Chain A
């Protein structure tokens, strides 16, 4: 049993770039999934019944499917359904965004719904319009409840980017496993992969804890 850890150092540039892609995927997905999640949540809360049903169906669908399957499905079906030839990165991004939007929609909907009806009534009793009441009274309170959940979703997303490696997106998992295949240094590369994820993910997990402590709701 001999280990050659230098192989990790030798490929540090490739690994760093791959880690960057992982982060890019995470950030871009969230940038899409937050506004889209708000949109879907609004539809579920306030729109006309048939639209509400469609939004609910969308959310329920993606809550009940494994993400890795959505990634494969996107890879094979999207080109045929949309006539677009998307890069693996774009396909992976689409799958991730579809998935996270559904979870965010649920988070936003539950967050807003958790604010007591009495708050809305008190605001309207003062003469505010429903829109004013939601904007100035309900939403600020809802944000406090939503933020910790969103932070938690972010960290899950960060881990889930590893799944798009199955369609050859050059993020950290894929690149690390490629190097493993090329150099045959299995233990070294896989441990390095785990270590890099750990180094990136651990602080994020701790940040989520801090956010949850700071925004703990006391009534």
Chain B
């Protein structure tokens, strides 16, 4: 079995483009899901009862349905319902955001709930408004605890971008598939893909491990 790396070097631009799309998709859906997740978490914690139920249903549904199904449905079925055509990247962005926001919302909720209720009581006694309490007292304390979990979510986000390959988004996984098919050298190409993903993800998971250790001693405030 010969290992011919020329297929990689000859097409490095093609593969680099894929890496670029991977990073862009991860960053965009990561940011969007952080924002959407925050709104959802607030709705669950402070919203009216119907909102709470709706949010719980949404979150549990995202835990039950695979991301592949969400992406495929968003790309192929949603346009039929809405009449809008969608480019693969957009569909992937929407699907990933909606799916990840559910997890982000849970992280926000857990972080906020982990701050001792006494903190809120003391702040109310001082005459602060709920919004002020959240912004100035609870969130700053909660943020530190949430960091490791968000780090994990980032790692998951990057890995999940690879699933967007099934709806033809030209990220790294898709580019690798295409190149492997055309060159008949799947071993070299997929091995390269594995190396690339590993090099991107390893620093993230390592960083998360360090964060978890750093935060572990905090426990409850």
Direct A–B contact in the complex, CB atoms closer than 8 angstroms: yes
Q: Which residues of A contact B (CB under 8 A)?
A: 1, 60-61, 63-69, 72-73, 76-77, 80, 155, 159-163, 165-166, 173, 177, 180, 186-187, 190-191, 193-194, 197-198, 200-202, 204-206
Given contacts A64-B198, A68-B165, A163-B163, contact A198 B65 (CB under 8 A): yes
A77 touches B163 (CB 8 A): no
B131 within 8 A of A: no
A162 touches B68 (CB 8 A): yes
Q: What are the residues of chain A within 8 A of B187 when measuring CB–CB?
A: 76-77, 80
| CB closest residue in chain A, given B70 | A194
Give Cα distance in the complex from A190 to B162, angstroms: 20
Contact of A65 among B61, B63, B69, B198 (CB under 8 A): B198
A187 touches B80 (CB 8 A): yes
Q: In the complex, given contacts A60-B205, A173-B66, A190-B76, what are 6 additional A-B residue pairs having Cβ atoms less than 8 angstroms apart?
A: A66-B197, A69-B190, A72-B176, A72-B186, A198-B65, A201-B65
CB distance from A66 to the nearest CB of B (A): 4
Given contacts A194-B65, A198-B64, contact A177 B160 (CB under 8 A): no
CB distance from A151 to the nearest CB of B (A): 12
Give Cα distance in the complex from A159 to B201, angstroms: 21
B69 touches A66 (CB 8 A): no
State the main secondary structure of chain A at its contact with B.
Answer: helix
Residue of B1, B68, B165, B205 with most chain A CB atoms under a 10 A cut-off: B68
Q: What are the residues of chain A within 8 A of B64 when measuring CB–CB?
A: 155, 159, 197-198, 200-202, 204-205
A194 touches B69 (CB 8 A): yes
Give Cα distance in the complex from A198 to B57, angstroms: 11
CB distance from A131 to the nearest CB of B (A): 28
Q: What are the residues of chain A within 8 A of B66 when measuring CB–CB?
A: 159-163, 173, 197
A65 touches B159 (CB 8 A): yes
B113 within 8 A of A: no
B137 within 8 A of A: no
Given contacts A65-B198, A187-B81, A202-B60, contact A165 B68 (CB under 8 A): yes
Give Cα distance in the complex from A159 to B76, angstroms: 20
